[in-house]
Structure 1
Amino acid sequence: MQAPLQARLGDVKAQVQARLDRAIGALPPGELRDAMAYACAGGKRIRAFLVMESARLHGVPDDAALPVAAAVEALHAYSLVHDDLPAMDNDDLRRGLPTVHVKWSEATAILAGDALQSLAFGLLADPAIGDGATRRLVAGFAQAVGGAGMVWGQALDIAAETAAAPLTLDQITQLQGGKTGALIRFAAIVGPLMADADPAPLAAYADAVGLAFQIADDILDVTGNEDVTGKRVGKDVAAGKATFVSLLGLDGARDRAARLVDAAGAALAPYGEAAGNLRQLARFVIERDT
């Protein structure tokens, strides 16, 4: 990872963690609050980084973008907590630690996820954002994470487990465009939404990066080391699940991811050198080992 990207990622991580800690710390003490804080600790914060860089490109100050970045990460944490549940992916390891339902209980994990989703929308009510931008953000956020976005993608993923035939490449692309890509896309267009500008270039960038991110995840499920990734690997192969790797092969998946990174960089042309961090991020997405 190049130094400017590493430094900016580190700065965003620290700012977002502090904002989440403050919001969660204001809640009544107890198991629920502890589980929420646990779920929100760590992570790459790629979605938060997209929010902050997107905002910077459109002249939106960090103090206005930060609540949105925290909201996106709270929502992402909720999705992971629920996705790890026995009724869904049934994972026992996340970010190198026991998943929330393993550390506490399924009931606590469900409630922690519910509360994190509510917290995310509450963070969008921060006065620093501004009323006009808040309305656009809430509408876009709800679209991205609900029944036409992330949750829809999760539903497609569950349905695929009992489908009569493995998914095709187009079907996997559609599924991941909802499950993984929709929130990434929202994060990337926060800047234009707040500035009431054209979101098309960053939407195209995010669509390419989101798909490359998922392909990299599929590759790591085959080639990764649990001690490094912090989560179980080999689950897709064991389950006979159709993935980008199973359909394209390792070399084909890597080639597809590389071409998506090139497409992401091309989409940033209107921003010139100012989008350097986002170009570096696209490369990092497919070179990471976690």
Structure 2
Amino acid sequence: MKVKQVSAILNPPAPHMVGDGFRVHNFFPSGYKLNMSPFYMLDYNAKIEFSARNEPRGVGVHPHRGFETVTIAYHGAVAHHDSAGNSGIIYPGDVQWMTAAKGILHKEYHEENFSKKGGLFQMVQLWVNLPAQFKMSTPKYQGVKQSDIKKYDLSENGGIIEVIAGNYKGAKGCISTFSPIEVYNVRVNEGAKTDFNFPANFNTAFIVIEGSIKVNGTSTAKTDQMVHFQNDGENIDLEALENSVVLVLSGEPINEPIASYGPFLMNTAEELQQAMTDYNEGKFGYLE
């Protein structure tokens, strides 16, 4: 089976603040010009210590249309509310998968108790594009606790693979998606090896959340780096050089036009204009 070759080992771009609660490195689309469809954006909040504060930091009410927001927690806790009536708190290992689709308002901020104590904070937020036929579907929310995520045990106490979305060797993720997507948290122990198999045309990347790894026997990557792959093979080998956590992303590209503006991700300029009109007319609901 042909190896999916590494295209680049990427350092995290310079950070910026999203609201006052998320200090993120934008790997794409602004940090690096990568084709990662169906993943449109990846903001990586590398480890940072937040001081204690009574008023929780975060991002106030804002709209989305045409895609999904995915938040994966590693340290700290994030609370969420949206105009469809969904709310939840994600703790380390948990995942929040919100389908904005035809339009939603939401806000996300540090969970109250975490905010009052302060501490280590580390998160990933993804924007996952929706195929045109689903962009105006009904919004939905999938909140998944780590304990409910399907796990695949690696042999010889090598670690576990948490299948958030997709299917790893028969372990199927509980998140439903609108196009073929594989999202795993790989928690692998020092010296252990594992492998992955994705179609050649799937856009694929690893983000090293913790530790350091060797990929395909040659390329090494350490904490906070991204491994980006070429679209030229199927098989990837991973070896942990120390106890490591790796976020694995792979998905079938959505080969449709993209028109984006701020919090809207559509196919045409006319659809973007309509999104702004609908938002201004209050059609995304209400949220304090």
Q: More helix by proportion, 1 or 2?
A: 1
Same fold (TM over 0.5): no
- TM-score of the pair, normalised by structure 2: 0.28
**Superposition TM-score, scaled by structure 1 size:** 0.28
